[in-house]
Structure 1
Amino acid sequence: MRLKNNIKLEYKFILGVSLMLGLLALQSCQGQKVKAEVATPTEEKKPNIIFFFTDDQSYDSHKSYGNNVVNTPNIDGLAENGVLFQRHYNTTAICMASRANVMTGLYEYKTGCNFDHGSLGTKQWSTSYPVLLRDAGYKVGFAGKFGFSVSDTNGGWKKEGEVAKKDFDFWAGSPHQTSYKTIENKSMAQYAEEYPHSTRAYGAATIDFINESIESNAPFCMSVYFKAPHRPVEPDPMFDDIYKDAVFDKLPNYGREAGKHLAEQSRMGRQYPRFEEWGYDKEETYQEALRKYHQLIYGVDYSIGMVLEELKRLKIDDNTIIVFSSDNGYFNGSHGLGSKVLPYEEGARTPLIIVDPRNDKIKIGVKTASLSGNVDITATILDFAGVEIPAHYDGKSLRPVLENSKTQVRESLPIVQVWGPKATHCLTVMDDQYKYVYWYYEDEKQGIKPTEELFDIVNDPFELENIAHKDSYKPQLEKLRKLYDNQLNHWQNEGVKYNGYAEYTSTFKRKLTK
């Protein structure tokens, strides 16, 4: 009996100790759990991203940039709900190079890609934003004009996108210049019956990709690279009445007289004869050209509206970032020029609007004068997605500008022009107020000498006066010359050594010092 009682007492003692130790352990674990929950932040939901990118769209082609003749309700709505960049430029103002720039975040002399030069290398493509986003778990889609080939042997001409499309989850892209006729774009044929014009068809394709992505429960990034308003002039007949009786104003720098003060080299490419060839020289044909041009842009606006409406229907508009821009500008008669390519405002400057509905720190409907370039779009997209921006990128994230419109993320920006006749080749550099252009080309027989231009973009936005030779602007000229030299050194140190780019580090060295 005594032994039995002792066993009971020992059992109770052991049980009591065990319960006490268990309780202490439980409290300790609970304390650790609370600490762990406090230390580990809730993972932020990844935003969806849609990048609308037009072709040949001038910066003044919608109301939000001050053009009261045009009808662009959806683009203007983006500006009202986001931030509009007033000084946004393409670091190369021609489609092939610009599209390679914006895909990779690199200046042209680091992509090695442009007409007359060659394809984008696989190394550069491997750190493009679609590839990096897909590696980070995004569903990535593409629709429209891809615009450049990816090849280490400079192959793939007129098959642009054939190599790259394997890196997309959704592909509705087409090679070369694509077609406004949806049926002629192989990847878009399924949309041809309902949307015969490709501009609206790209909106429909984007909607399909969005719904596919939602079903997979993954964040998505869709790149919609419109052909519009690039030539040929084939606007959607559905919108023939939009600008039927519209009368467009001419910019203050319209016409041949407003281009006489510019460097002789600026008139030695195709931009000069196209002023007359495309009808900008006569009032009747000028108005017709502008009506058709803006009708093409209206089609883009309509397509964007299709997508925005679907985002609202799906109730994901509050987590979808919108970026809107263009691959280069368009002269439309300014300075007596047509087309693009040259580094003057109408040729290189384009619209940029960014909408981030998630950030309540952003004051919407704001316009910023902060300098930005097409390569910055790339870095900004990666930043939005929480993906590390590669160290070799030339682009800088514009997110700080969204929260404070006075923020300057860069001191300067280049514009590279090495396409077409050598006489038109030049290197340009800008800061927050001035633009400096150095034209290297000389021809003694024609009396053409190397020339430099300096424009005060803040006080002379239409570049009506070259102030490079004015004594009162000597300090500004010297500052921009130094920025130019720094840019050329960067080209020499980091530029590719193939496709003819190395020679420009000598060609573009300044000969003028006074």
Structure 2
Amino acid sequence: MIIALLLFAQGAIGQQAKRPNIIFLLTDDHRWDALGAMGNNIIQTPHLDALAKRGILFRNAHVTTAICMVSRASLLSGQYMSRHGINDFNVDFKPAALADTYPALLKKAGYKIGFIGKFGIGVKNQPDTLFDYWAAKKEGQPPYELVNQSGHLIHHTDSVGKDITQFLERFAGKEAPFCLSVSFKAPHELDGNPPQYPVQRRFKPSYENVKIPDPLTAAPQYWDSLPAFFRTDQNIGRDRWKPLLSTPELRRQTTRDYYRLITGVDEVVGNMVAQLKDLKIDQNTLIIFMGDNGFSLGEHGLEGKWFGFEESIRVPLIISGGALPKSLQGRSSNQLALNIDIAPTILSAAGLGAPSAVQGYNLLAVEQKKLPARKDFFYEHTYLGSPRLPKVEGVVTEDLKYMLYTEHGYEELYDNAKDPHETVNLAKRSSEKTHLAKLRKRYEELKREVK
């Protein structure tokens, strides 16, 4: 009997050891095409491109709300904003809701959990005591220049890299697996008047002699075509456009700095992957990389996210690492992947089911054809409202996009398959009445379902 119990215990430990380590990497304001693997021939992201080559590159990944605190709550909970209810920078997870986030569920299942960087949800009640390792200041937006314990200035991206190194040294190779969530501030602007892009000194020469093309919809006619309630200097997207993107020279400088910050992130990712190999845990580690929302670099005469344009809602997404099933390595996926899918994907990788309130699903199960791919999703952005940020909701399908500015009853319809830059609003064309009617109906259905 004793021998049998010992064998059972050894088997349980062996099974536990096989559970993968999981690392989730999140960038801030990282648009979908600011990645070499996504076809950008200017930006230098060799380490992220290598992850994509060895894993799954999701070419059609989006967020359900393009603003940091809402998207981060959706990433942790697997829920739309309409369900998790976090739509303000000072609102945090209540204890019951926090207990159903992926880090808390993994900890309950025996994982060691860590968080590094910008938490971005609430300020006063951030859940530092939940984590076995916490390296995040309780503030809404961390500065780029930090003072380390030695009293020296360190860039936020470099600080995140040092904390990753420390976490891995402490938790790698232990009996319990780990889940590390990393949130970079980069390439988010440094808020201020004017906003700035503080770049690490070593990356300042990068892209200096590279030609940065102007976006098609940066031409004035595309801003001028927007409705009067939107086309105002009070619009935050326009307000921030002025000091950063309002001339070709400013636009090129801002884009270069934006790319430099992303290249800084890429360097940290490369160092992390090398450390995983040195620690001999790379083959039992799953790595997920995503942006919390996109970012307009002058398209439609705007700077920032918030609205329903592709630059705002579409993001990079990679799932890679040695723990990814061999059959899924080295592939490109066109499935509609969302930020609400991250939590259930992570939980499934750890052998756990998702709570009933989760609205996303396991992306790997879709790739393995165990689940059908989604055909559309609901988009919502209700923070602030007009005139600063006009509220918008809508439906995004594989080809079409319907957006409704709910305070004004103004509709947009884009055929993203034929018009990827969203240059022509088809909503008032009689030839599109059928499409419009179907999408209006689907919008009402999804609006009810997401609550």
Distance in structure 1 (CA, Å) of the matches to 2:423 and 2:240: 21
1:288–1:384 distance in 2 versus 1, CA, 3 Å: same
The answer to whether residue 350 in structure 2 is matched with residue 377 in structure 1 is no
Distance in structure 2 (CA, Å) of the matches to 1:254 and 1:401: 37
Name the structure 2 match of 1:451. Answer: 410
Flag the structure with higher strand content.
2
Name the structure 2 match of 1:222. Answer: 180
Larger radius of gyration: 1
Q: Report the 3-state secondary structure (helix = DSSP H, G, I; strand = E; otherwise coil) of the residue aligned with 1:272.
A: helix
Q: Report the 3-state secondary structure (helix = DSSP H, G, I; strand = E; otherwise coil) of the residue aligned with 1:290.
A: helix
The answer to whether residue 31 in structure 2 is matched with residue 58 in structure 1 is yes
Name the structure 2 match of 1:168. Answer: 131
Residue correspondence of structure 1 range 102-181 to structure 2 within 5 A: 102-115=75-88, 118-149=91-122, 157=123, 159=124, 161=126, 164-174=127-137, 175-181=139-145
Residue correspondence of structure 1 range 286-435 to structure 2 within 5 A: 286-403=251-368, 408-423=372-387, 424-435=390-401
Residue correspondence of structure 1 range 81-120 to structure 2 within 5 A: 81-115=54-88, 118-120=91-93
The percentage of counterpart residues that share the same residue type is 34
Aligned residues: 432
Distance in structure 1 (CA, Å) of the matches to 2:321 and 2:272: 16
Output the amino acid matched with 1:400.
A
Residue 484 of structure 1 deviates from its aligned partner by 0.5
Distance in structure 2 (CA, Å) of the matches to 1:93 and 1:399: 24
Output the amino acid matched with 1:486.
E
Does structure 1 conserve the Cα–Cα contact (< 8 Å) formed by 2:55 and 2:324?
Answer: no
Q: Report the 3-state secondary structure (helix = DSSP H, G, I; strand = E; otherwise coil) of the residue aligned with 1:459.
A: coil
Q: Report the 3-state secondary structure (helix = DSSP H, G, I; strand = E; otherwise coil) of the residue aligned with 2:69.
A: helix
Does structure 2 conserve the Cα–Cα contact (< 8 Å) formed by 1:370 and 1:407?
Answer: no
Distance in structure 2 (CA, Å) of the matches to 1:211 and 1:126: 27
Residue 304 of structure 1 deviates from its aligned partner by 0.9
Residue 82 of structure 1 deviates from its aligned partner by 1.1
Output the amino acid matched with 1:90.
V
Distance in structure 2 (CA, Å) of the matches to 1:63 and 1:375: 25
Name the structure 2 match of 1:272. Answer: 238
Unaligned runs of 5+ residues in structure 2 are: 191-196
**Which structure carries more relative contact order (alpha carbon 8 Å, separation 6+)?**
2
Does structure 1 conserve the Cα–Cα contact (< 8 Å) formed by 2:413 and 2:426?
Answer: yes
Residue 408 of structure 1 deviates from its aligned partner by 4.6
Residue 364 of structure 1 deviates from its aligned partner by 3.2
Residue 307 of structure 1 deviates from its aligned partner by 0.6
Distance in structure 1 (CA, Å) of the matches to 2:46 and 2:111: 30
Distance in structure 1 (CA, Å) of the matches to 2:125 and 2:215: 36
1:111–1:177 distance in 2 versus 1, CA, 3 Å: same
Residue correspondence of structure 1 range 234-249 to structure 2 within 5 A: 234-249=198-213
TM-score, length-scaled by structure 2 = 0.89
Name the structure 1 match of 2:15. Answer: 43
Does structure 1 conserve the Cα–Cα contact (< 8 Å) formed by 2:30 and 2:294?
Answer: yes
Output the amino acid matched with 1:395.
G
Q: Report the 3-state secondary structure (helix = DSSP H, G, I; strand = E; otherwise coil) of the residue aligned with 1:209.
A: helix
Residue 262 of structure 1 deviates from its aligned partner by 3.8
Q: Report the 3-state secondary structure (helix = DSSP H, G, I; strand = E; otherwise coil) of the residue aligned with 2:414.
A: strand
Q: Report the 3-state secondary structure (helix = DSSP H, G, I; strand = E; otherwise coil) of the residue aligned with 1:182.
A: strand
1:368–1:253 distance in 2 versus 1, CA, 3 Å: farther
Distance in structure 2 (CA, Å) of the matches to 1:65 and 1:265: 34
Output the amino acid matched with 1:335.
H
Distance in structure 2 (CA, Å) of the matches to 1:229 and 1:359: 27
**Aligned counterpart for 2:163 among listed residues 205, 208, 216:** 205
Does structure 2 conserve the Cα–Cα contact (< 8 Å) formed by 1:86 and 1:352?
Answer: yes
Does structure 2 conserve the Cα–Cα contact (< 8 Å) formed by 1:191 and 1:201?
Answer: no
Distance in structure 2 (CA, Å) of the matches to 1:486 and 1:207: 46
Does structure 2 conserve the Cα–Cα contact (< 8 Å) formed by 1:143 and 1:171?
Answer: yes
* 1:259-279 Cα deviation digits (max 9, x unpaired): 44444444352112322232x
Name the structure 1 match of 2:194. Answer: none
Distance in structure 2 (CA, Å) of the matches to 1:273 and 1:89: 25
Distance in structure 1 (CA, Å) of the matches to 2:226 and 2:26: 30
The answer to whether residue 429 in structure 2 is matched with residue 466 in structure 1 is no
Output the amino acid matched with 2:215.
L
* 1:2-23 Cα deviation digits (max 9, x unpaired): xxxxxxxxxxxxxxxxxxxxxx
The answer to whether residue 189 in structure 2 is matched with residue 231 in structure 1 is yes
1:266–1:379 distance in 2 versus 1, CA, 3 Å: farther
